[in-house]
Amino acid sequence: MASQAVENTSRVRRWAQQWKELLDAPVATYHIVLWSVVILTSFGLIMVLSASSITSYAGGEGSPFTVFMRQALFAVVGLIVMFIVARFKVETWKKLAPVLLIGGLALQVLPLTPLGVEVNGNRSWFSVGGGFRVQPAEFVKIALSLYIGRFMAAKNKALSSFSVVIPVLAATSLSIGLVIAGHDLGTGIVLIAVALGSLFVGGLPWKWLLTLAAAAVAGVAVLVLTNANRLARIQALFTGHSSDVSDPLGQHWQSNHGLYALASGGWLGVGLGGSREKWAWLPEAHNDFIFAIIGEELGLVGTLAVVVLFGLLSYGIVRIIMRSQDRFVQTVSAGLLAWLAGQAFINIAVVTGLLPVIGVPLPFVSYGGSSLVATLLGAGVLLSFARSEPGASEALASRGFHVRSALLGRMSRKSKNG
């Protein structure tokens, strides 16, 4: 009995040591970020197909695969972009930061021009022809993180007065202001989180950071209280969910049916493809409320799997921040963490009834070309930072060399045998 216990303890110690060695490897952070993103994107494609198949066919598309095929196209484009930019050097991102911000802000003006397209009251897109639309605010999130990172890295030791950070505040205010001008408060809140997260890790003194946070909260409150639709959503959250009979297609409808979907799923769900709410009962089932369909079809287990994957991605980003000595890398990574993890939290909180309905998608999972390509681009930035960890780039290159050598050797043996 005692020997068995000693053997079990020894096995656990060996297992713990092996995991420690894996996590201490220079490529560990790279693979944590990479595989959490790839799995979330792949899972998102499956759920977009399931959630959109009925409305895609019945809505005039003529095929249950139309929405899925569009999302798959964006996923391919996004993954190609991700792997390309993952090989960029950190210095390259520093040089590109101001250019990307200017370009992003210029694009953000287009939804306010005749090229702009309004969807559900938000004028956040512009048309590029062929039935495709671009939501530039998704790319502004990355550009703003990069700009704040470059600025804070250069000014970190010169933050003697509040006036020093005026250029950052101006860029942030302009970014948020252009988004709010299109009536997209949800994206505006995410941009606020990106800016505050970047400034926090970038070294902005606490008194200034808290002042900016208080000003942001006050600004959001004013925007809510002066808009009847936003105020109704807040009231719907606190007054409870009225019945569908007394509130047909009203403020409670989407929240109610999101909760119905989650409740129907139970522990293990009704089965992939078996959702009843996606039969035109739940608005935006394949977009902002896809988490509800995940809960209905895959149950609590499926929703927890998504939460764990976002937790794993967040852990990988925190590793980049903690293991880097470059203030630019730390600041930008913090902004991207606030974006990806913060937006995921908002989306899940909305679906579960903890927050009023705010139109933000679930990163990597919800339908939307601009959102998917932008989040994969952001993942590429993080992967390039992970490659900058000492020994990571060499280890990845060495592994690629060994894989190519093995493939060439196998091909050579086959040709000789042939």
Q: What is the 3-state secondary structure of 348-395? A: HHHHCCCCCCCCCCCCCCCCCHHHHHHHHHHHHHHHHHHHCCCCHHHH
CA-to-CA distance for 177 and 367, rounded, in angstroms?
A: 25
**Which of 290, 261, 254, 249 lies closest to 52 in space, CA to CA?**
290
Say if residue 7's pLDDT is above 80: no
Q: Cβ–Cβ contacts within 10 Å for residue 272, how many?
A: 14
- Summarised one tens digit per residue, pLDDT across range 271-289 is 999 999 999 888 889 999 9
Q: Is residue 30 part of a domain?
A: no
Strand ranges, E, within 176-257: none
Say if residue 81's pLDDT is above 60: yes
pLDDT for 1 equals 58
Q: What is the mean pLDDT of residues 378-390?
A: 94
3-class secondary structure, 125: strand
Q: Is residue 50 part of a domain?
A: yes
Average pLDDT for the chain:
88
CB 320 within 8 A of CB 329: yes
Q: Is residue 402 part of a domain?
A: no
Residue with tokens 């970190």: 156
Q: Is residue 124 part of a domain?
A: yes
3-class secondary structure, 124: strand
Tokens linked to 292: 């509800």
Strand ranges, E, within 261-397: none
**Which of 64, 14, 8, 82 lies closest to 379 in space, CA to CA?**
82
Structural domain count, the chain: 1
Q: Name the percent of the chain lying above pLDDT 90.
A: 62
Q: Cβ–Cβ contacts within 10 Å for residue 78, how many?
A: 24
Q: Is residue 412 part of a domain?
A: no
CB 20 within 8 A of CB 290: no
CB 392 within 8 A of CB 386: yes
pLDDT for 368 equals 92
CA-to-CA distance for 282 and 308, rounded, in angstroms?
A: 25
- Main-chain phi, psi angles of 352, to 5 degrees: -85, 5
Residue with tokens 């297992």: 15
- Summarised one tens digit per residue, pLDDT across range 26-41 is 889 999 999 999 999 9
- Summarised one tens digit per residue, pLDDT across range 305-364 is 999 999 999 999 999 999 999 999 999 999 999 999 999 999 999 999 899 888 899 999
Report the chain's C-alpha Rg in angstroms: 23
pLDDT for 160 equals 74
pLDDT for 98 equals 96
Q: Residue 156 sits in which domain range?
A: 37-388
